């Protein structure tokens, strides 16, 4: 099965985008795993299908590199806006997009007829632990400790404690502050958070270093994809946590949030919504032949 696609990224958070407004892909989770492989596929953090919607201008279905379907991706929705505008699927410069975490409004930045970036209303953060969801007795989980190695068979292995804040931005996040984010071994740390018993559906984890009162940088371990170069919902959660804990930023003003793939500007608005601003880049178009064995799994 041959599929036309566009490889795109927002701040280095890259996905393979497919026009599914006429027909949805068969077995999209398996296709996502196939195209995402960085040696044997196209190479991406996952697959995003741009579909028709009954409640918005378009609908986004996103699949991670491990086949699982995600609910929301802040960098992904910006690229969806560029995709539908630049491909001529709409002439609007502000669209609504249906996601599994609700309908999002995206305001495009257009230069010379092409979308170069976008601003997204990410909605309100959710703090109630049962809605994130978490397995704990806390009503909210703010600046509380998570214990790593708690279930390790080797009783001699030292337990490690990380204080952090749990926030949902349509998907679960755990934000923890560190002194030096670049020195962390995320390949070792990330899975311990992602599969922690406190998070029955897994969790995205943001490791944040405060640079000054207006600037932070972070690395992110995304459930289902591993370390990615950016995460829009993660940057949103980082901003909310920074302001809540008086680490950086101020409500109603943009915070500079640096990730491995570039700069995102995030504002926790006075109405409690979070807005995310960043680039949207088309890397290349192509056609890939998906083996029937993948389609028919």
Q: Is 136 among the residues known to form the active site?
A: no
Q: Is 38 annotated to bind ligand? A: no
Task: Catalytic residue, from 20, 49, 51, 73: name it.
Answer: 73
Q: CA-CA distance, 245 to 175, in Å (whole number)? A: 11
Q: Is 13 annotated to bind ligand? A: yes
Q: CA-CA distance, 126 to 220, in Å (whole number)? A: 19
- First-to-last alpha carbon distance for the chain, in angstroms, is 14
Q: Is 135 annotated to bind ligand? A: no
Q: Is 64 annotated to bind ligand? A: yes
**Nearest C-alpha neighbor of 9 from the set 223, 169, 173, 229:** 229
Task: Catalytic residue, from 20, 79, 231, 242: name it.
Answer: 231
**Nearest C-alpha neighbor of 295 from the set 35, 22, 19:** 35
Q: Is 256 annotated to bind ligand? A: no
Burial pattern 219-248, b for ≥16 Cβ within 10 A else e, equals bbbbbbbbbbbbbbbbbbbbbbbbbbeeeb
Q: Is 231 among the residues known to form the active site?
A: yes
Q: Is 204 annotated to bind ligand? A: yes
Q: Is 232 annotated to bind ligand? A: yes
Q: Which residues pair with 145 in a beta bridge?
A: 163
Q: CA-CA distance, 295 to 47, in Å (whole number)? A: 15
Q: Is 296 annotated to bind ligand? A: no
Query: Are the beta carbons of 198 and 146 closer than 8 angstroms?
Result: yes
**Residue list, annotated binding site for substrate:** 13, 64, 74-75, 171, 204, 222-223, 232-233
Catalytic residues: 73, 231
**Residue list, annotated binding site:** 13, 64, 74-75, 171, 204, 222-223, 232-233
């Amino acid at each position: 099965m041959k599929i036309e696609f566009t490889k795109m990224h927002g701040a280095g958070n890259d996905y393979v985008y497919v026009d599914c407004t006429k027909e949805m892909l068969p077995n999209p989770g398996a296709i996502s795993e196939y195209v995402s492989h960085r040696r044997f596929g196209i190479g991406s953090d996952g697959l995003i299908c741009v579909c028709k919607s009954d409640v918005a201008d378009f609908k986004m279905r996103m699949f991670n590199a491990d086949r699982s379907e995600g609910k929301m991706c802040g960098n992904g929705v910006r690229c969806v806006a560029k995709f539908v505008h630049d491909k001529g699927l709409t002439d609007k410069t502000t669209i609504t997009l249906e996601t599994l975490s609700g309908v999002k409004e995206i305001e495009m930045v257009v230069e010379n007829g092409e979308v170069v970036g976008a601003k997204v209303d990410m909605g309100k953060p959710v703090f109630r632990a049962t809605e994130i969801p978490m397995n704990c007795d806390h009503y909210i989980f703010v600046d509380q400790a998570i214990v790593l190695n708690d279930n390790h068979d080797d009783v001699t292995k030292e337990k490690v404690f990380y204080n952090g804040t749990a926030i949902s931005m349509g998907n679960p996040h755990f934000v923890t502050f560190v002194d030096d984010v670049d020195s962390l071994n995320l390949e070792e740390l990330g899975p311990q958070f992602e599969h922690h018993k406190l998070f029955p559906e897994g969790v995205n984890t943001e490791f944040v270093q405060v640079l000054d009162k207006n600037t932070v940088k972070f690395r992110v371990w995304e459930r289902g994809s591993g370390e990615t170069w950016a995460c829009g919902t993660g940057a949103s959660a980082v901003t909310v946590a920074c302001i809540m804990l008086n680490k950086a930023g101020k409500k109603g003003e943009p915070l500079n949030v640096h990730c491995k793939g570039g700069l995102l500007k995030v504002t926790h608005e006075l109405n409690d919504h979070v807005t995310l601003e960043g680039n949207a880049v088309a890397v290349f178009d192509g056609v890939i032949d998906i083996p029937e064995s993948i389609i028919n799994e």
